[in-house]
């Protein structure tokens, strides 16, 4: 069997509609040759806004290794994840969007494994397995698509979805090998006392905190000394994961594998074993901003280490590398009084509500401009909440230096790889394949009416390939319409002047949302037939 590896990078969506769209469509072959299928390494960043990459003009730090994936690969500039990580990973792994309510997956409560006695875990897992929702037989999860194509599958890092998973769940989703956390709240700490290694629980020497050393978020500056006290925090989780990843690649260098790394970085609370030299002397940054920037630098160095290992093993030309993000930017640091728990316009001091006062980096004190001038942050249905980066890099096989401006969602990944492998067509998935944009420079564009839907804490939104976006704001029980081509920052609600377009989008949105979901959003059902 010939080993080929694909390195794919998921990156936040650009708010600009750039890139080449072919004027003529040409016949294309959208599949990997069976004996030339590459290994796939998929790095999925956590809470990383598009603007945090120097590829997208980040001013405070550089991310040269991740940038290389975008510069020399295909950047999918209009890619959407979800509004926060649990549904984003659920959507990615199942191929269904999150405008449904416990019909394709359920999000269990987190923190259930924050125990000192690991013998308590098995009974908790048993209860979770009894209440978990699984796809029906024949409906494939992402790793099962790879297994059907002859791949070994491995996940190293966070749990694949939900807030608390189980070892049985990991196996049932199709992972041949799993190493990492199975509790989302424990992932908020970077010094786990134990991790899961397939069916085993392995203890991590020197880490003693049941909550994995989660840092205090209420007063970052006041707790600086606590953060840097390494008592009971001997081994940083991301160092552990990098070693496991490099070992896995080495052990399976002659196999065909799909390696998925849902990293914790740069999700907070801020936690780093050192300040990166690049930012140590940056007088533009506060102490906590330097710590956050160092987490981004660690993520970039880890990507570089993976690429170097592929070079050393002679796998680079046979590897597709994916780097991505689950949702939009989040604030985990303090600057001029702005922090995660106090989001406000630093000039007017008005609190951010995602409606009359939207979060913008320029007005809310975000020195990084992590959402790249878009409106909103994680958990919002403004574009800053779910517009994410995405790039594919496969030297010698995918023509690099390209930007694809077609509308993409994370629930499109399963249909895409299913088509790339030439497998029998999947039934019922919400996503569609974008394989042709990866393999061909002159591929037929999506129909202008192709839509992507997302949920959020304040209601659903729908974006159409021609640039129109409709969103619902549940607190005021109203819809807003934006033209992202001319107004990517969502400043101007133009619904009243474009009722026909708004009606078309609302009709499509209600087709996509399930009845249970619609009933769960305040006022949404009542607004189905009127604005």
pLDDT per position as a tens digit, 259-312? 999 999 999 999 999 999 999 999 999 999 999 999 999 999 999 999 999 999
pLDDT interval class at 341 (50, 70, 90)? low
Do the Cβ atoms of 41 and 319 come closer than 8 Å?
A: yes
pLDDT interval class at 106 (50, 70, 90)? confident
Tokens for 120?
């308590």
Reported as a single tens digit per residue, the pLDDT across 162-193 is: 899 999 999 999 999 999 999 999 999 999 99
CA distance 154 to 156: 7
**Helix, strand, coil % over all residues of the chain, rounded to 5:** 30, 20, 50
Strand partners, 51: none
pLDDT of 201 higher than 90 = yes
CATH of 459-527, one of 3.30.1120, 3.30.720, 1.20.50, 1.10.3470: 3.30.1120
> Which pLDDT does position 252 carry in this prediction?
98
> Which pLDDT does position 32 carry in this prediction?
85
The whole-number average pLDDT for the span 231-240 is 97
**CA dihedral for 142, 148, 149, 154, sign (positive or negative):** positive
Are 4-335+387-439 and 459-527 in the same CATH fold?
A: no
> Which pLDDT does position 530 carry in this prediction?
79
The whole-number average pLDDT for the span 516-521 is 96
> Which pLDDT does position 340 carry in this prediction?
67
Average pLDDT of the chain to the nearest whole number: 91
> Which pLDDT does position 337 carry in this prediction?
59
Give the predicted TM-score (pTM) of the model.
0.93
> Which pLDDT does position 7 carry in this prediction?
52
CA distance 499 to 505: 10
Structure-model confidence comparison of residues 153 and 218, the more confident one: 153
Burial of residue 393 (number of CB atoms within 10 Å: 0-12, 13-18, 19+): buried
Reported as a single tens digit per residue, the pLDDT across 4-43 is: 454 544 443 333 343 333 333 334 567 887 778 999 999 9
Domain ranges across the chain: 4-335+387-439, 459-527
Burial of residue 336 (number of CB atoms within 10 Å: 0-12, 13-18, 19+): exposed
pLDDT of 454 higher than 90 = yes
pLDDT of 3 higher than 50 = no
pLDDT of 45 higher than 70 = yes
Reported as a single tens digit per residue, the pLDDT across 52-81 is: 999 999 999 999 999 999 999 999 999 999
User: Backbone dihedral region of 157: left (phi > 0), alpha (psi from -120 to 50 degrees) or beta?
Assistant: left
Tokens for 524?
């949404």
> Which pLDDT does position 107 carry in this prediction?
85
> Which pLDDT does position 21 carry in this prediction?
37
Residue 446: DSSP 8-state: P
Out of 191-200, 208-217, 339-348, 509-518, pick the least confident: 339-348
Reported as a single tens digit per residue, the pLDDT across 375-394 is: 999 999 999 999 999 999 99
Do the Cβ atoms of 113 and 107 come closer than 8 Å?
A: no
CA distance 5 to 457: 38
pLDDT of 527 higher than 70 = yes
CATH architecture of the domain 4-335+387-439 equals: 3-Layer(aba) Sandwich (3.40)
Query: For a pLDDT cut of 70, what percent of the chain falls above it?
Result: 92
Cis-peptide into 269, omega within 30 deg: yes
The whole-number average pLDDT for the span 418-436 is 94
Burial of residue 225 (number of CB atoms within 10 Å: 0-12, 13-18, 19+): exposed
């Amino acid at each position: 069997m010939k080993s080929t590896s694909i390195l794919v990078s998921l990156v936040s969506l650009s708010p600009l509609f750039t890139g080449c769209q072919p004027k003529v469509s040409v016949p294309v072959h959208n599949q990997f040759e069976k004996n030339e299928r590459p290994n796939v390494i998929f790095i999925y960043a956590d809470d990383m806004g598009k603007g945090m990459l120097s590829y997208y003009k980040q001013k405070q730090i550089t991310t040269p290794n991740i940038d290389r994936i975008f510069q020399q690969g295909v950047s999918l500039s209009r890619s959407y994840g979800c509004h926060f990580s649990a549904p984003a990973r659920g959507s990615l792994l199942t191929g269904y969007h999150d405008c449904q309510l416990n019909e394709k997956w359920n999000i269990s409560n987190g923190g259930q494994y924050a125990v000192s006695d690991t013998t308590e875990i098995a009974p908790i897992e048993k209860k979770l397995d009894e209440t978990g929702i699984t796809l029906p037989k024949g409906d494939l999860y992402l790793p099962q698509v790879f297994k059907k194509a002859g791949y070994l599958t491995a996940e190293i890092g966070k749990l694949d979805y939900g807030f608390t998973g189980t070892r049985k769940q990991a196996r049932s989703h199709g992972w041949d090998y799993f190493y990492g956390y199975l509790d989302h709240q424990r992932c908020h700490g970077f010094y786990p006392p134990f991790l899961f290694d397939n069916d085993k629980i392995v203890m991590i020497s020197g880490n003693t905190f049941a909550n994995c050393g989660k840092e205090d978020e209420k007063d970052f500056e006041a707790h600086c000394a606590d953060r840097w006290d390494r008592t009971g925090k001997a081994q940083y989780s991301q160092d552990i994961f990098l070693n496991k990843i490099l070992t896995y690649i080495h052990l399976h260098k002659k196999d065909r594998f799909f390696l998925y790394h849902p990293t914790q970085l740069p999700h907070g609370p801020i936690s780093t074993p050192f300040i990166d030299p690049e930012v140590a002397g940056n007088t533009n940054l506060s102490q906590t901003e330097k710590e956050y920037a160092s987490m981004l630098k660690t993520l970039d160095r880890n990507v570089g280490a993976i690429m170097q290992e592929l070079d050393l093993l002679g796998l680079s030309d046979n590897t597709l590398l994916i780097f991505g993000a689950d949702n939009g930017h989040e604030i985990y640091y303090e600057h001029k009084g702005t922090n995660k728990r106090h989001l406000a316009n630093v000039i007017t001091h008005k609190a951010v509500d995602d409606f009359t006062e939207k979060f913008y980096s320029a007005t809310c004190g975000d020195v990084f401009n992590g959402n790249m001038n878009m409106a909103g942050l994680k958990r919002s249905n403004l574009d800053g909440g779910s517009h994410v980066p995405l790039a594919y890099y496969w030297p010698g096989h995918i023509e690099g230096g390209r930007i694809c401006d077609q509308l993409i969602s994370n629930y499109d990944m399963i249909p895409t790889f299913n088509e790339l492998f030439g497998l029998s067509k999947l039934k019922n998935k919400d996503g569609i394949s974008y394989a042709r944009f990866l393999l061909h420079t002159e591929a037929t564009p999506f129909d202008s009416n192709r839509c992507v839907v997302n949920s959020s804490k304040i209601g659903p939104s729908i974006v159409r390939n021609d640039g129109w976006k409709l969103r619902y704001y549940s607190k005021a029980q109203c819809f807003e319409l934006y033209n992202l081509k001319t107004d990517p920052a969502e400043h101007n609600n133009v619904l009243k002047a474009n009722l026909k377009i708004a009606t078309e989008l609302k009709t499509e949105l209600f087709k996509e949302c399930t009845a249970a979901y619609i009933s769960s959003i305040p006022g949404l059902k009542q607004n189905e037939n009127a604005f």
